[in-house]
Amino acid sequence: MKGSLRLPCQRLAPHGILLKHRIARASEIGVTNRMAPNPQTPVLFDRSLLIARQDRARSLGPETFLLDRVADDLRERLEAVIREFRDVADLWTPGNGLSSSLRARFPALVHVGPARTGEERLPFAPESLDLVVSALAFQFVNDLPGVLAQIRRALRPDGLLLAAMVGGDSLTELRQSFAAAEAECEGGVSPRVVPFADLRDIGGLLQRAGLALPVTDVDRITVRYDHAFALMQDLRRMGASNVLLERRRTPTRRATMLRMAEVYADRFADADRRIRATFDIVWLSGWAPHESQQQPLRPGSAKASLEAAVQKARKA
């Protein structure tokens, strides 16, 4: 990486063989047979191209600083969960997944890569997993509500989903710089940067999928580079370059690229003339419902009046 990572982070909210057998049999008896793709879901991403780009990144020598940071954070978050998880799946995490970070605690962890056909059907039998983890993959999913619903069905009661995805205002500087350069040089704007989901969207999707005790938060990471082309090189080596279906199919003019780099440097450089790139990592977690979990009180069951408590506090 040609830029340097600034570590301060803004936190906006607080059986291997058996499992592989279950995954293999899922195409016959599992969740996927009951989860046909929703024809009303807009298809934004070319997932076959995504896999090809990730393969190219591995051949170039992958840039993993962001994934390494997320993997460390995910391990720390799981350390705070006082519970044993037997059957664990790492879903679609790029490269070798989270094995190096989590294998010590979960020897039977299975890394499930994306289907090379681009399909988003999951190979899990119902109630076959205790824990599903995923890092930096869900931002490229076309039908995230459907994927979350499949995960919910695959979890046993009191099973946990813990995932991190790129979201929020990630790469807003690159998006704005490309838009300004294309409008100036070519008289129009083409899709360049993924439309990322925000915190409220993700929280609502967890509830819609039927997951209990949903929690979302954001870590903002700022990375600094010498210039915009160094950032774009890192994105290429992450396998995270443009895979939008509506992407421009012809090469970008040299003048547009140079103007983009100028706009980026003019608007988003620090005093030392190095540019900033924002990555918002959206964390999401939820549990498959279980009777042991904390339950909300029934409406009208409160034994104390909020109004009386406020009046008492004012008199004190």
* C-beta of residue 219 within 8 angstroms of C-beta of residue 281: yes
Q: What is the pLDDT of residues 248-271, one digit of tens each?
A: 888 889 999 999 999 999 999 999
Quick one: which of 39, 49, 56, 35 has its CA closest to 126? 35
User: Mean of the pLDDT values across residues 69-78?
Assistant: 97
Task: Tell me the CA distances in angstroms from 244 to 34, 181, 194, one per residue in order.
Answer: 28, 19, 7
Residues 41, 127, 29, CA angle at the centre, nearest 5°?
Answer: 75
Which of 129, 153, 179, 98 has its CA nearest to residue 23? 129
Number of helices (H), then strands (E), in the chain: 10, 7
pLDDT digits (tens, 9 = 90+) for 7-35: 333 333 334 444 444 444 443 334 443 34
40: pLDDT strictly greater than 90? no
**CA 303, chain centre distance (Å):** 42
Question: CA-CA distance, 111 to 133, in Å (whole number)?
Answer: 10
Tell the CATH topology of 4-170+191-248+279-315. Rossmann fold (3.40.50)
Q: Look up residue 149 and give its DSSP letter.
A: H
Closest CA to 259 of 171, 182, 173, 174: 182
Task: Report if pTM > 0.75.
Answer: yes
pLDDT tens digits, residue range 200-220? 899 999 999 999 999 999 999
Question: Of 110-114, 286-290, 305-309, which gets the smallest average pLDDT?
Answer: 305-309
Distances from the Cα of 166 to the Cα of 61, 127, 154, 256, angstroms: 21, 28, 24, 26
